[in-house]
Structure 1
Amino acid sequence: MKVFLYSCSLFLIVACTNQRDNIQPKIQTLTASVYASAMVQPDSMYQVYAVVSGILDQVFVEEGDVVVKDQPLIQITNKTSKLNNDNAQYALELAKDNYSGNAAVLTSLEEDIAMAQLQYKNDSISFFRQKNLWEKHIGSQQDYDTKKLRYELALSSLKRMENNYNSKKNALQVALKQAQIHYNATVVTTNDFLVKSKMNGKVYALFKEPGEIVTTAAPIAAIGSVNQFVIQLLVDEVDIVQIAPQQNVLMTLEAYADRVFKGKVSKIYPKKDERNQTFIVEAVFDQAPKILYPGLSGEANIIISQKKNVLTIPKAYLRADNTVETDAGIVEVETGMQNLEAVEILSGLTKGTTIYKPEP
């Protein structure tokens, strides 16, 4: 009777044990990856800003238009700037006239110098003639002194006029250069009211309508590559140190739920976004779908390591103290690489060992 009870009890224990979840380790390729949220964006996309403020007068493009570099996008108006440009142009023309002599600023001085040169020439001839006579003791001391004084006064007057002319000419030249610089500055400012594309690409967004106020602080359009797209991945700061260029990326998009796209890490931005504690990582498609739109979102896994032909078990079967339960009892194992689902077993188990899932 006792033996029967013992056998029955043993049978119940074995039957209970056999009903628990169990598996055997298997050989597979083990992949470790980092999760990231993903968003598709055009390559080289930039936001267009105005460098001046004003009223949006005209929009020369529409969303979806393909544009080339330096193509006009938007015309901004500002009456103050136009008035400044007109005044600068008038001042430049006046400075040119003054400097070239057309306005008679330098002409009268040139005429005065010509008369002074003639007077100096006459007084010079008269003085040196009188000087020669005086050296031969011909003539009076008074005649000599009078002609010498006239000669010196004529020479002094001529030099004064020439200095005055040169000074005036230099001043007019400086005024002309300043007027030219000021006019060029107003032209540049006026040109700034015509906003042009900085690249060949597509207009993906227009943020302003005609009649609205444009400032330098807010974007007015967004332009990016026509056919080249990149994948922007948001990687948590705890994982960013594991990311490196050229790592493989597997991605799914909401718009293509039944497909997995492959890509590679192309760029890692070093600045952390303090708002969500993530880093931006860019990846490029190995083969992109034919139709893509900016803002398409999805999920991605960045492959950080991969090992082939390794012995693995599900992580759910590994106990906290790196042991597993087998038919022979609790066995300590040595683990290696792991991901969210599986862990590599380096020693302690074989492919044919049956292990049991720990009870809750």
Structure 2
Amino acid sequence: MKNHYLIIIFILVLSCNKTSDKILPTEQNLTESVYSSATIQPDSLYQAYAIVAGILEKNVVEEGTLVKKGQAISQIINNTPVLNTKNAKLSLELAKENYQGSATILSGIKDEIEAAKLKYKNDSIHFFRQQNLWNQNIGSKAEFDAKELNYKLSKNNLTLLKNKYNQTKNQLNTSLKQAYNNYQTSLISTKDFTVKSAINGKVYALYKETGELVNTMEPIASIGSAGTFIIELLVDEVDIVKITQNQEVLITLDAYSGEVLQGKVSKIYPKKDTRNQTFKVEAVFINPPEIIYPGLSGEANIVISKKEKVLTIPKNYLINNNQVKTDQGLTTITTGLENMEFIEVISGITKDTYIYKPE
């Protein structure tokens, strides 16, 4: 008799357990979204580099300072560009003197051309006079040949000197232009001792202290927008195809626990980060919080789609992605939207169909 009671109690307990795992589908509003980590950064954030190497003389501003475009950030000491500028200036002056001065190379060639012209004129007179005599059978052949040779040599020499003058003039002109360009370049280098802001914004970080060595490979400062911030999102590669611009983003920041902030997708970067298999997506706040600091982190959900009053079941009641356990056994269903907890049922069961949680 005692065993009979135990069997009845066991059956009742088993029946209660099965009943507790039996539910009806429910109608509710369903939102499908893509999860992402979130980090806050200033808009237009960039790192400022020095164009010349040297020693940091001083930082003109402090971290947190508001700056204008073109305002000095840091000052660098380096005497080499100054010496290079002086040498370039001397080379420019020498090039000018060679090209334009009274005792230039061109003046010497001009004098040679004038002398060659006189000789050519004299030799041509003697040649044509001797030629007239020779045509009258007066004089010797040797004398005629000598006058002709002198005439031709004078003519060739004058042509060569004119070519030499033009070639030398072009070379000196080119040298003058090169010296001028080198001088201008050296002046730019001396101006590069001052690192300046490229935007209107705020200095968020200074990486060098007075006396430290500065090179062109390490940043001097980090500068970004003072009032506009973006939300950097890292989206898994399996979800990136679902993301489009202007989609709604729901953000929760650790600094604002329990508060849901709204934003929208503003930019999608096409290159995948192969280290973590994610894509970078940017979003902007619709109503940003009053106080924001760079580097604040949290979580975000990018809203893919929304539906109102859809038939849903808990995702943990789903079997093989498209089946549920009913009183008639395994039933195949067609699913739609889903979130972390629920999935939409399009067909296969109704709101009056009991389903059972898989064992």
Band the TM-score falls in, shorter-chain normalisation:
0.7 to 0.9
C-alpha separation in 1, matches of 2:307 and 2:135: 119
Correspondence for 1:97: 97
Change (3 A) 1:116 1:259: same
Matched-pair identity in %: 54
> SS of the residue aligned with 1:259?
coil
Stretch moving more, 45-54 or 26-35:
45-54
C-alpha deviation, 1:254, in angstroms? 1.3
Correspondence for 1:304: 304
Correspondence for 1:332: 331
Stretch moving more, 29-38 or 50-59:
50-59
Taking structure 1 as the reference length, the TM-score comes to 0.80
Residues 20 and 357, structure 1, Cα contact 8 Å, conserved in 2:
no
Are residues 1:272 and 2:272 paired?
A: yes
Correspondence for 2:242: 242
Are residues 1:206 and 2:209 paired?
A: no
Change (3 A) 1:167 1:272: closer
C-alpha separation in 2, matches of 1:227 and 1:99: 57
Correspondence for 1:176: 176
Correspondence for 1:67: 67
Are residues 1:260 and 2:260 paired?
A: yes
Residues 335 and 347, structure 2, Cα contact 8 Å, conserved in 1:
no
C-alpha deviation, 1:55, in angstroms? 2.1
Correspondence for 1:341: 341
Residues 40 and 229, structure 1, Cα contact 8 Å, conserved in 2:
yes
Where does structure 1 lack aligned partners over 5 or more consecutive residues? none
C-alpha deviation, 1:71, in angstroms? 3.1
> SS of the residue aligned with 1:312?
strand
Q: In the TM superposition, what whole-angstrom CA distance separates every residue of 1:226-259 from its partner, at most 9, and x where no partner exists? A: 2221111112223223323222211101121131
> SS of the residue aligned with 2:82?
helix
Counterpart of 2:175, as a letter, is A
> SS of the residue aligned with 2:260?
strand
C-alpha deviation, 1:74, in angstroms? 2.8
C-alpha separation in 2, matches of 1:177 and 1:103: 20
* 1:1-360 matches, cutoff 5 A: 12=12, 16-17=16-17, 20=20, 23-114=23-114, 117=117, 158-319=158-319, 322-324=323-325, 328=327, 330=329, 332=331, 334-337=333-336, 338-353=338-353, 355=355, 357-358=357-358
Residues 20 and 356, structure 1, Cα contact 8 Å, conserved in 2:
no
C-alpha separation in 2, matches of 1:298 and 1:103: 77
C-alpha separation in 2, matches of 1:108 and 1:283: 73
Change (3 A) 1:154 1:351: closer
Residues 36 and 233, structure 1, Cα contact 8 Å, conserved in 2:
yes
Where does structure 2 lack aligned partners over 5 or more consecutive residues? none
> SS of the residue aligned with 1:69?
coil
Stretch moving more, 91-100 or 285-294:
285-294
Q: In the TM superposition, what whole-angstrom CA distance separates every residue of 1:326-356 from its partner, at most 9, and x where no partner exists? A: xx57562514132221122334544355555
C-alpha separation in 2, matches of 1:345 and 1:137: 127
Q: In the TM superposition, what whole-angstrom CA distance separates every residue of 1:135-159 from its partner, at most 9, and x where no partner exists? A: 9999999999999888777666655
C-alpha deviation, 1:287, in angstroms? 1.9
C-alpha deviation, 1:200, in angstroms? 2.8
Residues 66 and 202, structure 2, Cα contact 8 Å, conserved in 1:
yes
Change (3 A) 1:167 1:234: closer
> SS of the residue aligned with 2:217?
coil
Residues 64 and 202, structure 2, Cα contact 8 Å, conserved in 1:
yes
C-alpha separation in 2, matches of 1:291 and 1:100: 66
Residues 335 and 343, structure 1, Cα contact 8 Å, conserved in 2:
no
Taking structure 2 as the reference length, the TM-score comes to 0.80
Q: In the TM superposition, what whole-angstrom CA distance separates every residue of 1:90-124 from its partner, at most 9, and x where no partner exists? A: 10111001100244433344345445556666777
Residues 75 and 193, structure 1, Cα contact 8 Å, conserved in 2:
yes
> SS of the residue aligned with 2:267?
strand
Change (3 A) 1:191 1:102: farther
> SS of the residue aligned with 2:105?
coil
C-alpha separation in 2, matches of 1:176 and 1:137: 58
Stretch moving more, 214-223 or 329-338:
329-338
Q: In the TM superposition, what whole-angstrom CA distance separates every residue of 1:51-102 from its partner, at most 9, and x where no partner exists? A: 3322223433322233333333333333333222221111011100110024
C-alpha separation in 2, matches of 1:139 and 1:11: 153
Aligned positions, number: 354
Residues 331 and 348, structure 1, Cα contact 8 Å, conserved in 2:
no
Change (3 A) 1:284 1:118: same
Residues 267 and 282, structure 1, Cα contact 8 Å, conserved in 2:
yes
> SS of the residue aligned with 1:249?
strand
